[in-house]
Structure 1
């Protein structure tokens, strides 16, 4: 984090990124001195209500974050910033999204946890739009113009007031990661058995193991449980994926599978009323398959430079993940965040586990055609993962995995195989039947 003193002294001359969180109510004029270099401006955690027309002086600005401020209207000056691609205004009070506020090069828009009741038609007229994050608003419908967003790959519309899934949504050729739990769809679900309950008083909390969008994960020991556990404590707020209670419901519906990280118990009696889930502790030898997308990659995970998989490991990962997702689909659960960064691997034994159901959506059993069309979107996400595995695996295995990826990546969702079919093909490849 930078300081105003650094900015005013000229110590930040030539910087490409500026992070300021110091109670600002307006932008300091010293920022304009960075016009020829500044590409990323992070103003999150201030008290801003508007942005000045001088923002256009930052002619190289590509990324602007202004979460946790006091905006009620997305500033129209953003639309006059020709290089601006990433706009993030999470957790403000934004109720108005003027069409003029949408930059022409918009690629990634984050308006999570605001007060939007509708979206402008012009949102579907941004040809570069890949990532749209709108969870936790008041949307009752999506504009039909969004069917023109042919590059859209990730859409978060959980915890809104949508009453139906628009027919065009499941025809988007590149949509792969969708979260829509917590809407008034009128869907009904089978009753799921409750998890055992574990009181906070019986928990011995260990070190922090990690943090995701929806919560913190600690090592924990619970009285009466012989093995160590991992405790996920939910933050209790709207996240980019949706609401904690929807993740809890999806976890229950998911059931158990050897390649899924699902809970064994539910936390009760937390002194701060936090919700929590207890899960088996993954052995420390497991590693994250990749890092999450960067500002540059937008929707694709990041692998270390020069990284490669031995063929048996790559095929084992593909097999385990495909079977885990096929299991979810049979149980009417769309994972919504099928990414390498949500997969833990055991590089020694070639095993993989898929976790993080924060973006998961339970789908109704009675709407079989809608369910099939929505699950076809996630098959494309599996295709992206297979494509990444192929890119880091030697031939001829890479060629076989790439061919399977292409069937999953068909631009016509109805032409994609089911996850059960993908799992069967991954199983065949893992058994050495590489053609």
Structure 2
């Protein structure tokens, strides 16, 4: 975090990344003193409602964050910034997105938790677009031109007003991570799932929280003692809206997934939290399990980041691939797409045992439906990306795994293999 005093005193000369959160109501003109170096500007958590018309003077600006401000429209001046690739205006009051606000190099657009009812057709001209975050708005349609965004890989449209899944998404050749829960056409299935498990509740008073174990986009996970006897993990959701969608939708998917060795069991849903927060109670995971990778960075956009030196031997890589394929096969059989099938949502132990977690982007569908087959094909591409990463970090070549990866990554969605077939193929690849 930086301060206005540092900026005005010239102490930040040559800075590439600037973060100011100090109750700003106007754009500080002193930022232009950094025009020859500034690439990332974070003005989140202020009281801004406009940006200056000469913003393009920041000619190296690639990324701008203006979340948690007071904007009612996405500023049109953004479209004139020559190097701008990433725009994040989460949790404002935006109801209007002018076509002029879309810069030609746009790769990543985050407009989560606003009041947007429509998007411009010109969005389909953003040929570099890879990531589109629109959860928590008032959309009931997307521009048909979005079908032209052939590089689009991740889409979040949960918690809007859609009455059907937009057709323009279903044939995108690279779409891999899709979240659409919490819309009009998914609510009945989600509510039915929650009602079926309404008796499985764990009162807050039965829990004694200990240390924090982790934190994600949707909630914070704590170690806790249940009834003074059992050690458990408790996920407490942060609020009404996350970058992926609604806590209620995540809970519906979790309690509907069924028992599987590759999924973290749910002991119950949290009841009677003093602030009314939603939550889940789960078994405590063995400390031998750790995240397979870290989430995508600003640079990698849609690709996870692996620790330097990460290496798997072939039995490990195959065991992880099979375990995840089996877990996803279980989800699909229960009418659930994970929506965020990434290495950073996988816990693994040295021998190749693994657990697929974080259902924040999970969505429900009708098993056996034509749309369900398309959705499973989209998830197959995410699995293909994961296989590619396992191969890249494997000590020796795995030609059989590469063949499966290639099948998952082919552009025609319905030609990709289904997970039941992949699970069987991977089972046969495992060492005897």
Query: Shorter-chain-normalised TM-score: which range?
Result: over 0.9
The 3-state SS of whatever aligns with 1:295 is coil
Question: 1:19: which partner in 2?
Answer: 19
2:220 matched to 1:219?
no
Unaligned runs of 5+ in 2: none
- Unaligned 5+ runs, structure 1: none
Q: Deviations over 1:324-377 (max 9, x none)?
A: 001000110000000000000111x32000000010001124x61111111110
User: Within 2, Cα distance between the matches of 1:51 and 1:402?
Assistant: 48
CA separation of 1:307 and 1:186: change in aligned 2, threshold 3 A: closer
Hey, what does 2:207 align to over in structure 1? 203
Please name the residue that 1:327 is paired with.
330
Check whether the contact 1:16–1:37 (CA below 8 A) recurs between aligned residues. yes
Alignment partner, residue 428 of structure 2: 428
Separation of aligned partners in 2, 1:395 and 1:153: 29
Shift of 1:263: 1.4
What does residue 75 of structure 2 align with? 75
TM-aligned CA deviation for residue 186 of structure 1: 6.3
What RMSD over aligned residues (CA atoms) do the two structures have, in Å?
Answer: 1.3
Give the corresponding residue for 1:362.
364
Counterpart of 1:122 in structure 2 is: 122
Native 8 Å contact 1:187 1:364 kept in 2: no
- Aligned counterpart for 1:311 among listed residues 314, 320, 337: 314
**Partner secondary structure for residue 250 of structure 2:** helix
Deviations 1:127-153 (A, max 9, x none): 000000000000011110000010000
**Take 1:83 and 1:27, find their aligned partners in 2: how far apart are those partners?**
20
Are 1:371 and 2:372 counterparts? yes
Q: How does 1:80-99 map to 2 (within 5 A)?
A: 80-99=80-99
Given that 1:253 and 1:362 are in contact with CA atoms closer than 8 Å, whether structure 2 keeps it comes out as no
SS in 2 for 1:53: coil
| 1:301 paired residue number | 304
Partner residue in 2 for 1:254: 257
Distance 1:112 1:376 in 2: 26
8 Å Cα contact 2:338/2:359 also seen in 1? yes
State the distance in 2 between where 1:281 and 1:186 align: 31
Q: Is the 8 A contact 1:320 1:351 kept in 2?
A: yes
Aligned counterparts, 1:223-238, within 5 A: 223=227, 226-238=229-241
Aligned length: 428
- Please report how far the alpha carbon of residue 187 of structure 1 lies from its aligned counterpart in structure 2 after TM superposition: 7.0
- Asked if structure 1 preserves the Cα contact closer than 8 Å seen for 2:391 and 2:397, the reply is no
Say whether the 8 Å CA contact 2:223–2:233 is kept in structure 1: yes
Partner of 2:244: 241
SS of equivalent residue, structure 1 residue 122:
helix
Further displaced range: 273-282 or 388-397:
388-397
Give the whole-Å Cα distance in 2 for the aligned partners of 1:60 and 1:246: 40
Q: Indicate if the aligned counterparts of 2:247 and 2:360 stay in contact, CA closer than 8 A.
A: yes
Greater CA drift, 303-312 or 181-190: 181-190
Show the counterpart of 1:290.
Answer: 293
SS in 1 for 2:54: helix
Structure 1 stretch 264-273 or stretch 162-171: which is displaced more?
162-171
Cα deviation 1:226-264 (Å, max 9, x = unaligned)? 531100001122111100111111111111111112311
Q: How does 1:174-193 map to 2 (within 5 A)?
A: 174-185=174-185, 189=189, 192-193=196-197
